[in-house]
Chains A and B, each alone.
Chain A
Amino acid sequence: MPDFNPIRTIAIKDIHDTLRDRFILIVTAFLGLAATVALVSGAIALRGDLATYEAAKATLLAIGKSVDGIKAPEFYPLRLLRGAIEQIEIIGAAVAILVGYRAAAAERGRQTLALILTRPLRNWQFVAGKMLAGFGLLAAGLAVVLVGLALVLHLTSGVGIGANDLARIAIVWGVALIYTSCFFLLGFVLTLHMKQPSHALLAAFAVWLLLVLIAPQIGDTLDPDNQVAGGVFAQLHIAKPDQTEIMKRFASFESLRNGIEVASVTKHFERFTFAILGIKATYAGMAIGPILTEMWSNLFWILLTALGLACLALALPLNPNRLAKA
């Protein structure tokens, strides 16, 4: 049976090192700030919409007209998390790359990697210990951010959040952990194996840029409804069922667009979390079970990406030429 003690020792040492230089606290605070700004600005915008609706309703009632003509703003507290989820999607992934970079670069910078490997420790145990520490730090960081967001949401939404909402946030935490782990592993593997750690960081950021920003951006831009301000169908006054009918003739274009989007693990994370939190209108009010069944393939791709990168990290032999600072 493999000996897990060295893995635990390496993981605990790495967590202590990270907490001591306050690096993880600073990056978690940055992610928390970005997510909170997104949540608060969304809440302020929603209050503005509610105030406008109430004013319009009062005016119509005062002149004796029906209020059926104006649409009340829909209110699902978890929908306010949209901006925060997008910040985790973008900045959370960047933070995970930094945590991965730091996990590998710290030993190289201090020239301690070669020293550690002189101990009775297998290479895979060293890598597994580092990975365990990284996952632990990401789990704690994301938990702090999401608990903070849940608190702010509870206080600002006006209706509070219940157990079902908390369960959905907990599911999002789990999936966010797997998602950010993909980027942690990317930064970690590249930094551990590339000649120059700073080049590895830049290469990881180039991949981040392609997966997190460019691929979803191309897919989003190719969406015909995003080409005209307000949406092309809205401008042409085409109802939803007729839109679907028209878009059937553009099936190959839509397949290409969707293919570009789903090539990115970020899009899978976005689709899963938007469904669980009811941010996408079709899932608002739906129970967790059916959403999980429908969104299973997205979760599968995120898991597969993380597992693939974890296997790569464990399988790649440590090159003695890469042990010291370049």
Chain B
Amino acid sequence: MSELSPNWLIARQSARFVLRERTVALLATLFVTLVLISAWLGWSATSTVDRIYVDAAAFLKASGQPVPTNPVLEISPLSLMRNMSVYVALIGALSAIVIGNRLVSIDRKAGVLPLIGIRPLGRSAYADGKIAALLGVVLGLIAIAGVMAVATFLVLPSVTLSGGQWLQLAGFLGVSALYMTCFGLVGLAFAARAKSETVALLVPVTLWLTLTFILPQLTANLNPTAAINPISALATPPDTSFFHWAGWLLGPLSLADAYKFASANLLDYLPQGMASPSFIPPVANIVLLTAAAACTAWRALSRIEMTQGDYDA
């Protein structure tokens, strides 16, 4: 039997240990449940609008007014999953931060870093293993979400997706995996670098809060509760030079904005003529920021002090 590489061993052991953690299991279960709810939400809301249209059309006809076209007919079936983008941005990102944090903090709290340090491993083996474990767990979560999304589209009788739309769904799942990985990598980096366990968790959470609720206000005057509604989040920004400049300058840093535009485009609910204010296209923006997070995490993990034990507080 061929011997497993140290990187692979670290990745496998880390993923197994982190999945045994109750908090990780709780957040992962919450994420999967919400993905299921998002399918129901999309279906329920769309069918209600359809019934409202039927009532409104009857009312307009009776009062002799012209009847506009049914807005539901203009909605792509893919947009039924629009709420999933919100849940990836909320619970998915938070779960990824926790997974990244626990992947390293388990070792630090158990005091096994010195033991790993005395093994004949390359300097990058620990970093590669942890990043691979994070990728594995995030991809696992996204795969479960994907299976649920596919099952929803197959079960709903009036919904049929074309080949291109199935590809768009796959693209959306890929972008969601990247988005979650980016936050997971930040969680890994701070779990490796921070002296305090609380700081290791709170800095990535603060970053997530800033990206999700503060930057969209500067780039598009988007209030926090609007930012978590997939339709309201795509309101046109005020037509002032401040928001044009803020969108252009802060857009490349505004990961949540990039994910919002990328998912709206892939799930066919981006209003016509609307585009990200950033000078970098949304998907490229997410790829670049994830790559930057990967470099930061790899650097922090490969320089981790193997003689250190538990956090200070």
Contacts and interface: CB of A to CB of B under 8 A. Distances in A.
B197 interface: yes
Contacts of A270: 225
Interface residues of A, number: 64
The B interface, classified by DSSP as helix, strand, loop or mixed, is: helix
B248 to A, nearest CB: 15
Given A38-B223, A45-B238, A86-B223, A199 B22 contact: yes
B243 to A, nearest CB: 7
B285 to A, nearest CB: 21
B218 interface: yes
B144 interface: no
B228 interface: yes
B239 A52 contact: yes
Nearest to A198: B197
A246 B55 contact: yes
B56 A48 contact: no
B90 interface: yes
Given A98-B202, A237-B65, A202 B52 contact: no
A308 interface: no
A34 B214 contact: yes
A6 interface: no
Nearest to A42: B221
Interface in A93-134: 94, 98, 101-102, 105, 109-110
A238 B223 contact: no
A228 B214 contact: no
A249 B238 contact: no
B150 interface: no
Given A198-B201, A238-B56, A246-B55, A228 B49 contact: yes
A242 interface: yes
Contacts of B90: 209, 213-214, 217
Most chain A beta-carbon neighbours within 10 Å: one of B68, B71, B197, B217? B217
A47 B60 contact: no
Contact of A236 (B68, B87, B228, B313): B68
Interface stretch (B156-164, B229-237, B251-259, B300-308): B229-237
A209 B45 contact: no
Nearest to B241: A48
Interface stretch (A138-146, A157-165, A219-227, A284-292): A219-227
B59 interface: yes
A183 B30 CA distance: 20
Interface in B9-47: 22-23, 26-27, 30, 34, 37, 41, 44-46
A268 interface: no
A33 interface: yes
A55 to B, nearest CB: 11
B114 interface: no
A4 interface: no
Contacts of B48: 222, 224, 227, 250, 253
Given A30-B206, A37-B218, A250-B52, A217 B228 contact: yes
A109 B232 contact: no
A193 interface: no
Contacts of A229: 231, 234-235, 271
Given A90-B213, A206-B30, A235-B68, A49 B229 contact: no
A51 B242 CA distance: 13
A236 to B, nearest CB: 5
Interface in B291-313: 313
A105 B55 CA distance: 57
Contacts of B2: none
Contact of B224 (A89, A203, A242, A250): A89
Interface of A: 30, 33-34, 37-38, 41-42, 44-45, 47-49, 51-52, 82-83, 86-87, 89-91, 94, 98, 101-102, 105, 109-110, 198-199, 201-203, 205-206, 209-210, 213-214, 216-218, 220-222, 224, 226-229, 232-233, 235-238, 242, 245-247, 249-250, 253, 270
12 contacts: A30-B206, A33-B214, A38-B217, A44-B240, A83-B224, A198-B105, A224-B49, A226-B232, A229-B231, A232-B49, A236-B68, A238-B56
CB-CB nearest 6 A-B residue pairs: A48-B240, A45-B238, A202-B23, A86-B224, A45-B221, A109-B313
Given A226-B232, A235-B71, 6 more contacts: A45-B238, A48-B240, A105-B198, A217-B228, A222-B45, A249-B55
